[in-house]
Amino acid sequence: MEIKNILIKNLKPHPKNPRRHPDSAIERLAKSITEFGWTNPVLVSADGYVLAGHARLKAAQVAGLKEVPVIELPLSGAKAEAYLIADNRLNELTDWDDATLKDLLADLDTGELDLELTGFSVGELEKMMTEFHPDDEKDSNQDKAITCPKCGHEFEVK
């Protein structure tokens, strides 16, 4: 597959794109593009419609870009429209490893980087960083014991 730089004004958003992008998401994405550069090409169908990258395209305009990298997929008709849905839906089927995410964000929280560049809002970051962490409970329970209500025997919690 070949990546070509195409003028934004020459790209056609797919008229049946079912995905909606609130302005706040576009603004975050534009900020990300400005900070990290362009990292993910827009994907277009054989007949020239955008299949993946509608939000990136809008964010590129907000960021003041005139052209973006594009890959033309050999898809058209029903297959192209199915991919239009699949590209977004398949990402929704994944989950975060919350403990690993929290640890990584804590590592990045040095004051040198705006953590909102990760796509999380300040409120989301604050909530995530103050919520329960599985290792926190294990450490706080290490010296505790449970007493059996019938016989009085103490069991150490590990």
Cβ–Cβ under 8 Å, residues 43 and 73: yes
Written as six digits, the tokens of 121 are 């809002």
Nearest to 65 by CA among 95, 32, 18, 91: 32
Residue 114 pLDDT > 90: yes
Q: CATH 3.90.1530.10 residue ranges in the chain? A: 3-92
Cβ–Cβ under 8 Å, residues 12 and 49: yes
Region for 44 from its dihedrals, namely left if φ exceeds 0, alpha if ψ lies in -120 to 50, beta otherwise: beta
pLDDT tens profile 124-152 = 999 988 875 655 555 544 556 777 677 77
Residue labelled with tokens 């990300």 = 32
Specify the pTM: 0.76
pLDDT score of 143: 55
Query: What's CA 98's distance to the chain center, in Å?
Result: 14
Cβ–Cβ under 8 Å, residues 94 and 27: no
Judge: domain 3-92, CATH 3.90.1530.10: yes
Which is more confident, 84 or 141? Answer: 84
Percent of the chain with pLDDT over 70: 89
Nearest to 61 by CA among 78, 42, 48, 74: 42
Residue 156 pLDDT > 90: no
- Indicate the pLDDT class of residue 26, thresholds 50, 70 and 90: very high
* Cα 27-28-32 angle, rounded to 5 deg: 115
- Indicate the pLDDT class of residue 157, thresholds 50, 70 and 90: low
Question: Measured between alpha carbons, how far is 19 from 151 in angstroms, rounded to an integer?
Answer: 61
Give the chain's mean pLDDT: 89
Residue 92 pLDDT > 80: yes
Cβ–Cβ under 8 Å, residues 13 and 54: yes
Q: Which residues contact 45 (CB under 8 A, 6 or more apart)?
A: 14, 51, 72, 73, 75, 76, 80
pLDDT score of 141: 47
- Indicate the pLDDT class of residue 91, thresholds 50, 70 and 90: confident
Which is more confident, 78 or 147? Answer: 78
- Indicate the pLDDT class of residue 158, thresholds 50, 70 and 90: low
